[in-house]
Chain A
Amino acid sequence: MDDKERQGNPATNAALSRRGFLRAGAAVGAMAAGAGAARAEQQPDPLITEVQPWASGWGDGVDATPYGLPIEFEDDVIRRNVGWLTADVISSINFTPIHALDGTITPTGCAFERHHSGAIELKKEDYRLMINGLVDKPLVFTYEDLERFPRVNRTYFLECAANSGMEWAGAQLNGAQFTQGMIHNMQYSGIPLRTLLEEAGITNLGDQIKDKWVYAEGADASSNGRSIPLEKALDDCLVAIKANGEALRKEHGYPVRLVVPGFEGNMWVKWLRRLEVTDEAVQSREETSKYTDTLADGTSRKWTWVMDAKSVVTSPSPQMPIKHGKGPLVITGMAWSGRGHITKVDVSLDGGANWQEARLAEPGADKAVSRFYLEIDWDGSEMLLQSRATDSTGYVQPTKDALRAIRGENSVYHNNGIQTWWVKENGESENVEVSS
């Protein structure tokens, strides 16, 4: 609903005028609680004792919002970008507001974007997918063709290879949205890539699948071409036509994107237009100049596809200060691994000196985000909050120092080091690093 519609709607205008009143009411409540034992003197809450407009008049009709947006009070739960990170906003990144979300599914409307030549508009009618190269018969599919293949539903995280990349040399950005928010987790409906490759026929490859590749490219100007091992393509990759139940958002590759579970987000080619089976890697720009990881001695790793186990406490965090004072506190966060599923998340309140096991909200799922909780009784003292993920292969999320000891500070990508939040006595948090 835009401002114009809002102004034209009496019920919502009434709600707007109540905002100041609500906040004043909340402040009175807090003061009363601060007064402690003076419970007997507490005034009755007018939000309870007085009939409120919403309990008397009308709300919006069912025709007000054919496709709704979040209520205006949640207007801080949005994607944000950081201007100085890139030369322009066309080949750039923004960040999912993970600090304010819960559960595991990322709402598509605030799920981060990363484009190399902008979010293009590609109609289903104009969409074509080509499969060529070392196949029995090169094929062209329309969108309608893709809808007729057997489909699966799978939930996976997509993490940009550069997530947390600005933090390699030290604590830089102040908020989980900025330091760990190049990630989303969606349920995809799509066709196994294997099905499409077998439709074109790969029988001519015989048993030589191990050395073969699939070069995937998008319809946009950047093309974002990447070489994917054929073994991975035949394993669990999907050609997705829906995310979280609806068509892909334009900015997420409408109408078709590649899903490459557990692998760095760059390989999840959007606006997918072509898949070519090849006998060598193309060594495209996005796998030579970019998405290669420079080590301390000046050599660089290439083909670092998997995203290792990682986690972050999303609340409390710099954007989520503790406002309620001492007492019960919910510490929550997210954990994920490209190598398998999350089996355990440990949380430390003292900068990694001592750890306790958090509670996973649900059993970990393969290459998908897990939500964890640790409920504590906060005594109001400073904390150095950390989380540490373990995945089903036994891999334990390392500290940033442990990673830097092996890689140096110039890897750019694949920073899965443990994050520390310094929670101060006033409830505010700050992004810090601590001694190892």
Chain B
Amino acid sequence: TPALAEKFGLGREALPEEINAWTVEVFPDGKNLPEGSGSVADGEKIFADNCAVCHGDFAEGVDNWPKLAGGEGTLANKDPVKTVGSYWPYLSTVWDYAHRSMPFGNAQTLTVDETYAIVAYILYSNYLVEDDFVLTKDNFLDVEMPNADGFIVDNRDEVEVPKFSEAACMSDCKTDVHITKKATVLDVTPNQGGGEDTAA
């Protein structure tokens, strides 16, 4: 095995311009947020031009494209509707993801102010701010995300692993074995012809 603490002298020092160009992620505490601002009103127009074709005029989602608004109080339902308003814990993620990876197919084209405006409009669509709201770097952390406390760190080691590490039954483990569900009832599996698979 190689001596891992050894340095090989490979690569070169990254320049500040290069680090800045790629280090654009925004942290929950607002770290890395650039100076800027955007209003709900500006956001509505930018959203209509760049986002509504998939996400709907009111961020409610078109067809199978993601809904960005709605679904409040549905997380414990049989079919939860998970949106920015109902599910996302941090506003930083909305800003970061929209800025870096949206619009789908034309990412990294939104300016900083446009991103603030779109995020403001998404907040408005979720009834989290008024229609005269202006989102800025300075008031960013004042926005309360409804599901901010809705997440727990993986607790499988406590609530599952002990239970699933008991000695397994090998014989006469059940007395009544009967079929409860069948996939063919739904019949949503693509055909197996190869290459021509389409939605059922």
Contact = CB atoms under 8 A, between A and B. Distances in A.
Interface of A: 75-76, 78, 80-84, 86-87, 90-91, 116-117, 130-133, 137-142, 145, 148-150, 170-175, 178, 192, 194-195, 198-201, 215, 217, 221-223, 225, 273-274, 276, 278, 280, 282-285, 288-289, 292, 294, 296-306, 308, 318-319, 346, 350-356, 384, 388, 390, 393-398, 402, 406, 409-410, 422, 430-436
B56 interface: no
Given A82-B190, A83-B190, A353 B173 contact: yes
B172 A288 contact: no
Given A76-B192, A82-B197, A83-B199, A145 B174 contact: no
Given A198-B4, A221-B108, A284-B96, A170 B170 contact: no
A374 to B, nearest CB: 14
Contacts, number: 271
User: Which of A145, A172, A305 has the most B CB atoms < 10 Å from its CB?
Assistant: A172
A198 B23 CA distance: 20
Contacts of B101: 116-117, 221-223, 285
Contacts of B31: 280
B14 A139 contact: yes
A178 B183 CA distance: 12
Nearest to A422: B179
Contacts of A351: 174, 177
Given A199-B7, A390-B168, A434-B180, A273 B22 contact: yes
Contacts of B63: 87
Contact of A172 (B19, B26, B107, B183): B183
Contact of B183 (A82, A140, A430): A430
Nearest to B153: A303
B171 interface: yes
Interface in B23-68: 23, 25-29, 31, 54, 63-66
A274 B199 CA distance: 36
Contacts of B87: 289, 300
A393 B63 CA distance: 45
A432 to B, nearest CB: 5
Interface stretch (B121-129, B131-139, B159-167): B159-167
Nearest to A350: B177
A355 B76 contact: no
Contacts of A274: 22-23
Interface string B107-151: 110000000000000000000000000000000000000000011
20 contacts: A84-B199, A90-B104, A139-B12, A141-B10, A148-B10, A171-B186, A178-B189, A199-B11, A217-B25, A225-B100, A276-B23, A285-B96, A289-B97, A354-B173, A395-B164, A395-B165, A396-B164, A409-B78, A430-B183, A432-B179
B177 to A, nearest CB: 4
A297 B76 contact: yes
Contacts of A192: 4
B27 A302 contact: no
A406 B160 contact: yes
B164 to A, nearest CB: 5
The 3 A-B pairs with the shortest beta carbon distances in the complex, nearest first, are A83-B199, A298-B76, A298-B75
A398 B166 CA distance: 11
Given A299-B152, A355-B173, A432-B179, A223 B165 contact: no
A117 B4 contact: no
Nearest to A87: B64
A421 to B, nearest CB: 10
Interface in B64-93: 64-66, 75-76, 78-80, 82, 87-90, 92-93
B90 A288 contact: yes
A284 to B, nearest CB: 6
Nearest to A128: B18
Contacts of B151: 288, 292, 299-302
